[in-house]
C-alpha cells in the first residue's frame, strides 16, 4: 500500500512538472502575440495620422481662398489629427463652417478681392412712429428723462447723464451686456433730438422728432441707424435682432407715456436747454428764465390790452351819454 501511494505521488509530480514546462511557452506566445498586435495597431495609427495630417495641411492651404465647406473640412481633419474623437471633430468642423459662412454673409472676413476686402456690413435702418394723447411739450419733456428709461424699458439696465450732451448706456443683449456712449449733437425743445454713439460692439445713431397733431395729440417719429461691429453683433444682425429690440423698447416708451405720463402731466419736468453741433448753446436754467420772462410779458400785454378795452368802453359810454343829452335838448327846444 505504501509503495502504491508513493508511486501515485511521483506520477502527480511528474505530470505537474510537465504541465509547467508546457505553460511557459504558451504564456510567452501570448505575450509575444499581444506585442505584435500592439505594434500593428501603432503602425496603422501612425500611417492614418500621417495621412490625416497631410490632408489637413492640404485642406488648410486650399481653405485660404476657399469657402465655408472647405474650411469646415480642414477644421475637422485637423481635429482628427490632434487625436480628438470623430464626434468632437465633426462638431468643431460644423461650427467652423457656420462661422465662416456668417463671415462671408456679413462681410467680416476681409480678403484681397477686387473690392479691397472692405467691410460690407449692412447698416440696419429703423423707422418707427406712434401717436400719444399728450401735448407736444409734455411728450418732449418725458422723452428727455433718459435716466428713467431703465424703469419702464425691458433691456436698458442703466443710463448715466455724464453731462447735458453726453450719456452712458448699459443694456442686456441676450446673455451678455453692452455699454455705449451717446452724444447729443442737436436738441431743440419740443422739436427734435439728434445723437451719435460710439461703442466697441456696435452703435446706434438717430433722430427723434415731435409733431403736434392737436393740442393734446402728438406724433413721435424715430429714425435710427444700427451699425453692428463684432462677430456676435453682425451675426445677430442677420435676423434683425437689434432692430426688433429697439422697436420693443420704443413700444415700452409709448406704453409708459399712455399709462403713466398722461396721468401726471404737471409733474413731468424735462430738459429745456438747447444743443447745437454737440455743444450746449442754452442751458436749462437760462431757457426757464426766458420762458418765465415771456410768460410775464404776455401777462403785461394782456393787462394793457384789458386796460385799453376798458378805456374804450368808457369813452363809448360817454359818447352815448352825450348824444342822448344832445337829443333831449333838441327835443326840448322844438316843443
- Of 241, 263, 285, the residue at which a domain comes to its end is 285
The vertex-111 CA angle with 105 and 115, nearest 5°, equals: 80
- Of 106, 135, 167, the residue at which a domain comes to its end is 106
| 59 and 151 within one domain | no
| 179 and 84 within one domain | no
Q: Which of 125-134, 175-184, 232-241 has the highest mean pLDDT?
A: 125-134
| 149 and 87 within one domain | no
What's the domain range around 274?
A: 124-285
pLDDT single digits (tens) 50-92: 554 554 455 455 444 445 555 555 555 565 556 565 555 554 5
| 96 and 150 within one domain | no
Please count the structural domains in the chain.
Answer: 2
Does the pTM exceed 0.75? no
> Is residue 321 in a domain?
no
Q: In percent, how much of the chain has pLDDT > 90?
A: 36
> Is residue 268 in a domain?
yes
Residue 203: strand pairing partners:
227
Q: What's the number of CA atoms in the CB half-sphere (13 Å) around residue 187?
A: 26
Supply the CATH number for residue 190's domain: 3.30.530.20
CB atoms within 10 A of CB 207: 15
What's residue 63's pLDDT? 46
> Is residue 96 in a domain?
yes
| 99 and 243 within one domain | no
* Burial class of residue 134 (count of CB atoms within 10 Å of its CB; 0-12, 13-18, 19+): buried
> Is residue 324 in a domain?
no
Amino acid at each position: 500500500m505504501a509503495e502504491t501511494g508513493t508511486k501515485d505521488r511521483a506520477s502527480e509530480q511528474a505530470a505537474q512538472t510537465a504541465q509547467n514546462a508546457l505553460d511557459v511557452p504558451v504564456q510567452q506566445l501570448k505575450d509575444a502575440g499581444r506585442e505584435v498586435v500592439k505594434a500593428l495597431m501603432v503602425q496603422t495609427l501612425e500611417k492614418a495620422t500621417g495621412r490625416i495630417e497631410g490632408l489637413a495641411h492640404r485642406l488648410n492651404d486650399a481653405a485660404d481662398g476657399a469657402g465655408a465647406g472647405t474650411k469646415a473640412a480642414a477644421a475637422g481633419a485637423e481635429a482628427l489629427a490632434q487625436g480628438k474623437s470623430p464626434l468632437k471633430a465633426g462638431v468643431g468642423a460644423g461650427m467652423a463652417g457656420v462661422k465662416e459662412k456668417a463671415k462671408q454673409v456679413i462681410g467680416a472676413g476681409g480678403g484681397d478681392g477686387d473690392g479691397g476686402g472692405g467691410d460690407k456690413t449692412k447698416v440696419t435702418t429703423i423707422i418707427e412712429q406712434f401717436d400719444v394723447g399728450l401735448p407736444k411739450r409734455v411728450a418732449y419733456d418725458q422723452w428727455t428723462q433718459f435716466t428713467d428709461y431703465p424703469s419702464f424699458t425691458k433691456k436698458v439696465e442703466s443710463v448715466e447723464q455724464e453731462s447735458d450732451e453726453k450719456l452712458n448706456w448699459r443694456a442686456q443683449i441676450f446673455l451678455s451686456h453692452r455699454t455705449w456712449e451717446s452724444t447729443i449733437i442737436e436738441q431743440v425743445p419740443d422739436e427734435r433730438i439728434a445723437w451719435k454713439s460710439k461703442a466697441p460692439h456696435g452703435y446706434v445713431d438717430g433722430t427723434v422728432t415731435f409733431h403736434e397733431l392737436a393740442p393734446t395729440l402728438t406724433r413721435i417719429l424715430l429714425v435710427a441707424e444700427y451699425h453692428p461691429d463684432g462677430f456676435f453683433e453682425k451675426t445677430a444682425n442677420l435676423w434683425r435682432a437689434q432692430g426688433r429690440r429697439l422697436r420693443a423698447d420704443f413700444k415700452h416708451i409709448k406704453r409708459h407715456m399712455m399709462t403713466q405720463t398722461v396721468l401726471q402731466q404737471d409733474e413731468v419736468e424735462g430738459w429745456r436747454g438747447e444743443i447745437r453741433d454737440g455743444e450746449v448753446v442754452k442751458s436749462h436754467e437760462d431757457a426757464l428764465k426766458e420762458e418765465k420772462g415771456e410768460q410775464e410779458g404776455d401777462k403785461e400785454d394782456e393787462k394793457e390790452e384789458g386796460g385799453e378795452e376798458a378805456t374804450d368802453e368808457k369813452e363809448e359810454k360817454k359818447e352815448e351819454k352825450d348824444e342822448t343829452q344832445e337829443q333831449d335838448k333838441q327835443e326840448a327846444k322844438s316843443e
